[in-house]
A and B are shown apart, each in its own frame.
Chain A
Amino acid sequence: MPRAPYVEPLVSVSRGSTRQNRTGSWKYIRPLYRDAVAPCNRACPAGVDIEGYMNLLREGRLDDALDLLLRENPMPAITGRVCHHPCEVGCNRREYDQAVTVHSVERALGDESLSRPHPAPPPRLHSERVAIVGAGPAGLACAYHLARLGYGVTVYDEAAEAGGLLRQGIPGYRLPREVLDRQIERIASMGVDIRTGVRLAGEKAQAELEGYDAVFYATGAHKGKPMRVEGEDGPGIVAGLEFLKAVNRGERPEIGRRVAIIGGGNTAMDCARTALRFGAEPVVVYRRTRDEMPAIPQEVDEALREGVEFVFLAAPSGFRWEDGRLVEMHVTRMELGEPDDSGRRRPVPIDDDGYTIPVDTVLTAIGEDTELEALPWSLPEKWGSIIVDDFGLAGAERVFAGGDVAGEERTVADALGSGKRAAMGIDRLFRGGDDGGRPAEVTDLRWGGDGQVSMSRWRGDDPVRRTNPTNQVVDIEGLQLAHFRREPSHQERHRHDAVDFSEVNLGIDMEQAIAEARRCFNCGVCNDCELCLILCPDVAIVRREGGGFEVDLDHCKGCGVCAEECPRGAIIMTREGL
């Protein structure tokens, strides 16, 4: 038999790949990429996709980061300055080294947006017109979102200038007027008609508002709460907010040298530091301790640094006047008892004589009440707040309410969130039938189910690619911290050369903001770090066109290394076949 010509020896030499082996059949569990919710997003009362814009900014996609921020928050230059940033309390990184300084990044982005020309107004898509009463943060937010959703919006405010408490309550050294003006201007440039100096009350209001298809009430809370101490209406005792309003109107209210400020919130800090700027010697009298103060900690730090004195565990119990002039405030000593509903320990009076503090002026800053008497319609209310549903709808048809007047937490961010929620409620009112698959349940709109609503979710066009999104929040246990390195946060610079009304906090620059964004863990959301792909022993993870990854199920053996090692908890293992 003739032999074939000799080509090569028949030896064990490969002619193909192991790829033909379906080693994926070994597995009984399989990885699933699923993007979850970062705790900062859930914690943000304005419903900002913080993790999302950090993710974009980390990649240097500044425009995209700005777009994402601005779709949820109409005034980042303002919240970046004055928000109490609960996001940073929620931040998982806080437990690792230091929280990401979200507010400073937000401020840098906000300032960046204001440094650019205002964008063209969004197209007017719908015929409906909405009236908004109150040009504070809630009203402006609702107006902004409605305008972007394509509605005609008119905002009324009785004050000479728009801004509500942002303008009237917050001193310029914290929120410079030009930032506020430019930010409001930007909202107005969306096509929002802002009419100031118009007080809408009673029949006049009804007549004016008849012509609109919906109304949003966001008239705020302006009336200082009483201390319930004898003589509190006497001379020298002033509501702190009234004092600030006067200052912010450009007046120079009469105060003495020794000024006691009652309260521990931001208004108290603003009063104290403003008084200081008028040459007074302010002392803050607070019935609990520093730890329980509701004011933003940095504000307290600044007040202390500037020389404001603090008296803790003391509550006013009487005043003394000489010749019609306030000279002395008597205080009761307090101690901390059991925690109250807010989780803070309740102050309990100590049964002794207390002591006196020499004072010339007392500024009260223990909170404000709403004034519902001026409402044109009778709306259901409870404890001085309008009762609204999840979308801000108040009892009457087509009437919505939000912000302080609707019982929101008394913060700018909460006001912004409630304005956004009402905008969605109004949009739903008009377009409920053809909502294009918008989430019906408000919990689906809320970050983590109980956070603030997301406009991305409402519009259904999240610009951050999200794979199998879930509303589950990833806590620190869900992260793989081994892949991070400790690095201190980027702290804002403060101006300490003089104590005056120009801005004290100078923020961080964009370069620092990007560096800070890189500190973000991107909890729960794949940021294409590729660690899963790099560490897969089975080479069974492949890049997907346009970002993200796919599991090669023919070859994944289900070891779970990817899920275990994902730094941000964006992969879970699921039972095979489910």
Chain B
Amino acid sequence: MKKVIVGNHAVSLGVKLARVEVVSAYPITPQTQVVEMLSEMCASGELAARFIKVESEHSAMAACCGASAAGTRTFTASSSQGLALMHEMLHWAGNGRHPVVMANINRAMGPGWNVWTDQNDSLSQRDTGWIQLYCETNQEVLDTTIQAFKLAEAVDLPVMVILDAFYLSHTSEPVEIPDQDLVDEFLPRREARLKLDTSDPRSFGSLVRPEDYMEMRWDQQQAMTTALRMYEEIDADWKILTGRRWGAIEPYRMDDAELVLVTSGTVTSTAREVIDQRREDGEMIGLLKVKMFRPFPSAAIRRALRGVDRVAVLDRNVSPGHSGIFAEEIRAALYDVPPDDRPWLHGYVLGLGGRDVTPATIEEIIERAWAVDTPPREDLWVGLKT
């Protein structure tokens, strides 16, 4: 069944179809519609979940950890400051290996207050042990939400499904809603491998000494590695059921491309249009969409970009004092490519705090990328007022 819905409701519908058992959340713009719809669903019985209306995001994630540790499928949603407040408990979920799923609506960090999109909130949580999946469309949001539970529970890692504020969260798009039966087949009820169980009483999270700690982090790292492969399998299964797959990365019109733009989130859609146009005009130009940021699909990115002349990474985020964060990561990934095959990498910081990224912005980047004849020393900021 196809419906025209906003991205936030795509999340809520995905959560419902996943038959989430415990929701714990705190409202923040632009996430509110997610929890409002879930509240309605829980109240009406449409979703047989307990919704804990906590007093803070910190408690939201804490409650999720508890509910997940007790063996249930658990969900929350947040954004920006709220996500930042959760930080400590994101680690707890990550290191505790709780397969919590969260939707994060990308929103810029204050001050000053800014409710519009950029990726600094989620990217700041890079090292908390969460899988991060960035979405481009509302269909992808819905599908990814369902996939996220499957992935999280397969490897016992939490998953963050990420969508741009307003461009997705509040923008209506037609979305194919899968049947419940189909989702049930794809995603059976969670059977936790380890859980709080009075018939097998165990202590979770007690003091770990140096002689034991590293192995746990190593196991987590292995799980992340597994998640890369596991996502491809899950995605393939999803395709069998729905005809759609998304991929950890998506190369777009990259055949013989000499310049490849690397994007994530809704900037991708804008870039697709520009690239389509330029390909029509015969320009050897392509696009690489990165959906999965953690675990980082380095090998796939290397394979995709190897031999390309120039790569322009579009970052709706910045690591102050360094560069755009995707650019950093991709630059590091490409270091393993032999110098002869290694592309020049151009980093572009753009669209922070919800500043518009229009086709013209993309055009400007492409022009600048073609224009330089030596590898650039630092990222270029696009669209700055002079």
Contacts and interface: CB of A to CB of B under 8 A. Distances in A.
A8 interface: yes
Interface stretch (B120-128, B214-222, B306-314): B214-222
B193 interface: yes
A383 interface: no
Nearest to A7: B193
Interface stretch (B25-33, B201-209, B283-291): B201-209
Contacts of A14: 202-204, 206
Contacts of B218: 10
Nearest to A3: B222
B97 A9 contact: yes
A112 B96 CA distance: 70
A11 interface: yes
B236 interface: no
Nearest to B222: A3
A12 interface: yes
B235 interface: no
Contacts of A15: 202
Interface string A84-115: 00000000000000000000000000000000
A9 B69 CA distance: 12
Interface in B217-264: 218-220, 222-223, 226
Interface string B182-220: 000000000001100000001111111000100110111
A6 B218 CA distance: 14
B204 A6 contact: no
Interface residues of B, number: 23
A6 B194 CA distance: 12
A13 interface: yes
A9 B97 CA distance: 7
Contacts of B206: 12, 14
A32 B369 CA distance: 86
Interface string A1-23: 00100111111111100000000
Contacts of A7: 193
Contacts of B97: 9, 11
A343 to B, nearest CB: 65
A10 B194 contact: no
B21 interface: no
A17 to B, nearest CB: 10
B156 interface: yes
Contact of A11 (B96, B155, B222, B226): B96
Contacts of A13: 194, 202-204
Contacts of B156: 8-9
Contacts of A6: 155, 226
Nearest to B207: A12
Contacts of A12: 204-208, 212, 216
A12 B96 CA distance: 8
Nearest to A8: B193
A3 B221 CA distance: 13
Nearest to B225: A3
Interface of B: 95-97, 155-156, 193-194, 202-208, 212, 215-216, 218-220, 222-223, 226
Interface of A: 3, 6-15
21 contacts: A6-B226, A7-B193, A8-B156, A9-B193, A9-B194, A9-B219, A9-B220, A9-B223, A10-B215, A10-B216, A10-B218, A10-B219, A11-B97, A11-B194, A11-B205, A12-B204, A12-B206, A12-B207, A12-B212, A13-B194, A14-B203
Given A9-B97, A9-B193, 9 more contacts: A3-B226, A9-B220, A10-B215, A10-B218, A11-B97, A12-B206, A14-B202, A14-B204, A14-B206
